[in-house]
Amino acid sequence: AGAAMAEGEALVSVDYEVSGKVQGVFFRKYTQGEAKRLGLVGWVQNTSHGTVQGQIQGPAARVRELQEWLRKIGSPQSRISRAEFSNEKKIAALEHQDFQILK
C-alpha cells in the first residue's frame, strides 16, 4: 500500500435528490455533462414525483463541487428549490463505469 490518500482524494459515494423545476429542462443531461467534466461516476434519473435523483461517486473534493452545482446552478432553465444529500460513505473503489442517465 502506498501513502494514505489526502482527504480530498478519498473516494466517496453520495445519493442526491433535487427538487424544484428540474424536469423537462435538460437537467439530467447537464448533470451528466458536469459530472463527466469533474471525472465523477454515478447516475441521474427523473422520479415519478417531479424530482431528479441519483448517486455520485468519486474523489471527495470533486463530489463536493458537483454537490454545490446541484444545489445552486443546475441546467440553465431549471429552478432548484432544494438539493438533499444522503447515504454519504467512503468507498474503496468506484461502483460505476461512468455517469449515466437512467430512464
Q: Report residues of the chain scoring pLDDT below 50.
A: 1-2
Give me the catalytic one of 28, 62, 64, 82. Answer: 28
Would you call 87 a catalytic residue per the annotation? Answer: no
Give me the catalytic one of 46, 64, 71, 87. Answer: 46
Task: With both helix axes pointing from N to C terminus, report the angle between 60-72 and 27-38 in degrees, rounded to the nearest 10.
Answer: 150
Residue 44, pLDDT score:
98
Strands of the 79-90 sheet, one edge to the other: 79-90, 11-21, 52-59, 41-46, 99-101
Structurally, at CATH architecture level, domain 24-101 sits in 2-Layer Sandwich (3.30)
State the Cα–Cα distance between residues 28 and 77, nearest whole angstrom: 12
User: Domain coordinates of the chain in residue numbers?
Assistant: 24-101
pLDDT tens digits, 78-99: 999 999 999 999 999 999 999 9
